[in-house]
């Protein structure tokens, strides 16, 4: 199983708000390492959505936001659109096992 825990799936109707959680531990998120989020559309490579817990790269709409607290982080998407249907992954750094980058198991977002 993944070092970071995400719900396997979430869903919402167009226009609604959804959140995706990412739970870590004291050797990764809880140690102060930042959380990143990636969006992966079907058949495509992952794309950076959020870096440094809450920063959006240029081109990512402001209806997408990220936050971190303690050993967890969250991704929020408001004003859901059909094009948001994708897999979402959180990522951080873990100092155990000689240090490595780690991902969550991924969350499938379905727009109803």
Partner 1 sequence: QVQLVQSGAEVTKPGASVKVSCKASGYTFTSFDINWVRQATGQGLDWMGWMNPKSGNTGFAQKFQGRVTMTSNTSISTAYMELSSLTSEDTAVYYCAVGRRAGWSSWWFDPWGQGTLVTVSS
Three-state SS for 27-48 is CCHHHCCCCEEEEECCCCCCEE
Closer CB to partner 1, 88 or 111, in the complex = 88
In the shown chain, the binding pattern of residues 39 to 78 toward partner 1, with x for contact by CB under 8 A and - for none, equals ------xxxx--xx----x---------------------
Between 16 and 45, how does the x/- string for binding to partner 1 read (CB under 8 A)? Answer: ----------------xxx-x-x------x
Buried b (16+ CB within 10 A) or exposed e, 9-42: ebebeeeeebebbbbbeebbbeeebbbbbbbbee
Q: Are strands 72-77 and 9-12 parallel, antiparallel or unpaired?
A: unpaired
Check binding of 93 to partner 1 (CB under 8 A): yes
Instruction: Please report, as ranges, the residues that interact with partner 1 according to CB under 8 A.
Output: 2, 32-34, 36, 38, 45-48, 51-52, 57, 89, 91, 93, 97-106
């Amino acid at each position: 199983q993944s070092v970071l825990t995400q719900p396997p799936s979430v869903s919402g109707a167009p226009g609604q708000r959804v959140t995706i959680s990412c739970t870590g531990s004291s050797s990764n998120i809880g140690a102060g390492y930042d959380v990143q989020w990636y969006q992966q559309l079907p058949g495509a490579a992952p794309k950076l959505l959020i870096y440094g817990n809450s920063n959006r790269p240029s081109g990512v709409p402001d209806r997408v936001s990220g936050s971190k607290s303690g050993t967890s982080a969250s991704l929020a998407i408001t004003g859901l659109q059909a094009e948001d249907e994708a897999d979402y992954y959180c990522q951080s750094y873990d100092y155990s096992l000689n240090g490595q980058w780690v991902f969550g198991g991924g969350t499938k977002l379905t727009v109803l």
